[in-house]
Amino acid sequence: MKTFILIHGSWHSSWNWHRVIPILEKQGHRAIAIDLPGMGRDKTPIQEVKMQSTVEKIVKLIDSIEGKVILVGHSKNGIMISQAAEYRPDKIEKLVYLAAYLIPNGKTQREYSLQDTQGVLKPYVTMHEELKAHTLQPEIYKEGLYADCDDNITELAKLLLSHEPAESGITPLQLTEENYGRVPRIYIECTEDKAVTPFIQRKMYTETPCEKVYSLPTSHSPFFSKPQELSDIFLEIALG
């Protein structure tokens, strides 16, 4: 049995994984999805959320689990699993980046996001300076996030998506080869992604090589559109 910790991406929360968790559990694994600070059911005031406290929440969960975990990060929050691995390299069996930001030491997520000029989301991001956070306008949800998903997912998103803390996107990662560098990395690219495009995904996993790269012909949200196919990859990773 393996323990998966599933980390959601920008604006989202633990509900991302509701179709994947039962599949993993049916195969005898444990799967835990959490709401990051200020997201979902976590009531931390959004303007108080920092990258450090977010990583600390992940690390605290890792510390509460006996044995090693497989840590999965989606989208922007690939940065969170990287930083967590720097702090707990001996507790993480594998890092899995799902259409996620795989950023080297000293760089920021925003630096790579700015290079991704073909993505469709940026014109629809609204910054709220007083909250140090941003939101995504609902009219781009379907095309940008859920193009191949059931329409009810888009409708759910209109109720569930929330503010995204801005500070983490401009915080440089602090990673070393001695810690982060010895945790095996796996990348799952989404080849029809319009949020984190295939161009920037490939750039990142080429610059920071991974043990294996899987490809899914999906939009940015395969946990909704292809939960079985995504789970099959997770299960293969667990066996590897």
Distance CA 125, CA 148 (A): 21
pLDDT band at 240 (very low <50, low <70, confident <90, very high): confident
For 126, other C-beta atoms within 10 Å of its C-beta total 10
Distance in angstroms (rounded) separating the CA atoms of residues 120 and 144: 6
CATH superfamily of the 3-239 domain: Alpha/Beta hydrolase fold, catalytic domain (3.40.50.1820)
User: Which of 233, 213, 209, 168 has the alpha carbon at shortest distance from 4?
Assistant: 233
Nearest to 39 by CA among 76, 4, 85: 76
Indicate which residues carry an active-site annotation. Answer: 75, 193, 220
Structure tokens at 63: 């510390």
- Cα–Cα distance for residue pair 94/51, rounded to 1 Å: 21
Predicted confidence (pLDDT) per residue in 3-25, tens digit: 999 999 999 999 999 999 999 99
Tokens matching residue 203: 């750039």
Domain extent listing, the chain: 3-239
The tens digit of pLDDT for each residue in 95-136 reads 999 999 999 999 999 999 999 999 999 999 999 999 999 999
Q: Model-level pTM?
A: 0.98
3-class DSSP assignment, residue 199: helix
